[in-house]
Amino acid sequence: MKQAVSLIIEARWIVPVIPRQTLLENHAVIIQGNKIVDICTIADAQQQYQAEETVQLTNQVLMPGLINLHAHSAMVLMRGLADGLSLTPWLEKHIWPAETKLVSPEFVYDGHLLAAAEMLGGGVTTCNDMYFFPSSSADASIKMGMRTHLGLVVLEFPTQYANDADDYIKKGLTVRDQYRNEPLVSFSFAPHAPYTVSDESFSRIAVLADQVNIGVHTHLHETADELAQSEDEHGLRPLSRLANMNFLGPHVTFAHCVHLSDAEVDMLAAHGCHIAHCPSSNLKLASGIAAVNQYQAAGINVGLGTDGAASNNRIDIFAEMRLAALLAKGQSGDATALPADAVLEMATINGASALGLADQIGSIEVGKLADLTAVSFSDIEMQPVFDPVSHLVYVAGREHVTHTWVNGALRYHKPSGAVGVYSGVEPNELSDIVSKWQPKVSEFKSE
């Protein structure tokens, strides 16, 4: 008698990521509920299992869902607001004034909903987010059926969300308690950056993160100006400040890390810290190019992030994969740097490791949660195909995503020749969000 299961996905190719450098042809992933229970040939699947539903991916790659390791999702409502500026004037003259006037629970909910749709349509199943009103982000993620790692933001100065560091921390812990049993939501503390958070607050966060067993997510060494400011005010570079507070460890993910000395690279590696590499944002803001090849050679786990759509202007991990691969080669002068399989690991299992979720997501393995993405190779611009993994990094785009499953449920589907369909929202609802907020945000647009 055949074993009853929820779903069988039959694929022309499967890239499981773990084991590394593995490509399975004409195989199937067997899913019961929200978990992967078997990976076998299509013939064996048809002989051994009876599924409630079978999906046939005749000319597609099935891979783990992509993980966006650094984002400010609700900032999608500021997409294109202030282009052609470096980080400091971009923040101080446009983004922070807009946030001061506009950011609210409604703004964050609507923005996160729009961003989640963009990510699901691009094969992203998990986002490591950092923004105000995290409960609104949680509600939007749950509606869309997307997995979200919520950063509980901490700043020293008042915003519409909180008054001071104590207030941010208190409100963050309340949100954690409120959503701690939601299967699609996990948490980290998210002190914004060393230039906006005091030593006292960083020290307190380090203790609290250990006490409640969550990670920490912050910006670090993004620009040369940041380093100069820190040396002027503290006599230390930002990483040295954090090291003096015993802040470093395997529970910490640093976004950007564009400017690191050799000694700092060794320090991050020795403490098991993670880096969220955001190549598009770093280039658009002229922050620089991170030496990712050096970081990985030192043993640092590096994942991929988009940053916010206000500084990218896409929330597109396919674009980040290709750009990361090309930049690593150009920056290092080594054409073998960051091969395609390593880039795909950055976008999947490396991100999962940074979030402490590698035992649950980031690869297609028996026992893991069924967070999966299917990419079509049928279009003429995808032909011919010699190496499917290379194609995923250098040829494919988010427009080639046909299915996105999160926790075993289909959350995005793009039928052949049709527009994409989301399980959590109607297209007119997304259009209404844009129509509502664009006039309000346009007041802060740069000339």
Whether residue 429 is contained in a domain is answered as no
Whether residue 434 is contained in a domain is answered as no
Query: CA distances (Å), 445 to each of 252, 320, 364, in order?
Result: 34, 26, 43
Backbone angles phi, psi at 274, to 5 degrees: -115, 155
Asked whether residue 412 carries a pLDDT value surpassing 70, the answer given is yes
Provide the pairing of β-strand 49-64 with 35-41.
unpaired
Shared domain for 154 and 239, answered yes or no, is yes
Q: What is the pLDDT of residue 446?
A: 63
Shared domain for 54 and 117, answered yes or no, is no
SS3 category, 85: coil
Shared domain for 313 and 170, answered yes or no, is yes
Q: Domain count of the chain?
A: 2
Whether residue 239 is contained in a domain is answered as yes
Shared domain for 377 and 321, answered yes or no, is no
What value does the mean pLDDT of the chain take?
A: 96
Q: State which residues form the domain around 23.
A: 3-64+363-414
Q: What is the pLDDT of residue 417?
A: 73
Shared domain for 184 and 257, answered yes or no, is yes
Prediction pTM value: 0.97
Provide the pairing of β-strand 66-71 with 124-131.
parallel
Give CA–CA dist 18/23, Å, rounded: 10
288: left (phi over 0), alpha (psi -120 to 50) or beta: left
What is the residue type of 121? G
Shared domain for 203 and 287, answered yes or no, is yes
Shared domain for 119 and 241, answered yes or no, is yes
- Report percent pLDDT > 70 for the chain: 100
**CATH for 259:** 3.20.20.140
Which tens digit of pLDDT belongs to each residue from 276-316? 999 999 999 999 999 999 999 999 999 999 999 999 999 99
Q: What is the pLDDT of residue 419?
A: 87
Give CA–CA dist 401/92, Å, rounded: 37
Q: What is the pLDDT of residue 165?
A: 98
Whether residue 237 is contained in a domain is answered as yes
| Terminal-residue alpha carbon distance, the chain | 69
Task: Count how many Cα atoms sit within 13 Å of the Cα of residue 166 in the half-sphere of its side chain.
Answer: 0
SS3 category, 229: helix
Which tens digit of pLDDT belongs to each residue from 98-138? 999 999 999 999 999 999 999 999 999 999 999 999 999 99
Give CA–CA dist 286/346, Å, rounded: 23
What is the residue type of 73? S
Token digits of residue 223: 């620009």
Whether residue 90 is contained in a domain is answered as yes
Shared domain for 59 and 70, answered yes or no, is no
Token digits of residue 357: 């979720």
Q: What is the pLDDT of residue 18?
A: 98
Shared domain for 87 and 194, answered yes or no, is yes
Shared domain for 184 and 273, answered yes or no, is yes
Whether residue 421 is contained in a domain is answered as no
The last residue of one of the domains, among 336, 354, 372, is 354
* DSSP per-residue codes, 103-127: -SHHHHHHHHHHHHHHHHHTTEEEE
**CATH for 26:** 2.30.40.10
Contact 240, 234 (CB under 8 A): no
Shared domain for 398 and 285, answered yes or no, is no
Which DSSP symbol is given to 309?
Answer: G
Whether residue 443 is contained in a domain is answered as no
Shared domain for 110 and 245, answered yes or no, is yes
> Is the peptide bond prior to 313 cis by the omega test (within 30 degrees of 0)?
yes
Whether residue 310 is contained in a domain is answered as yes
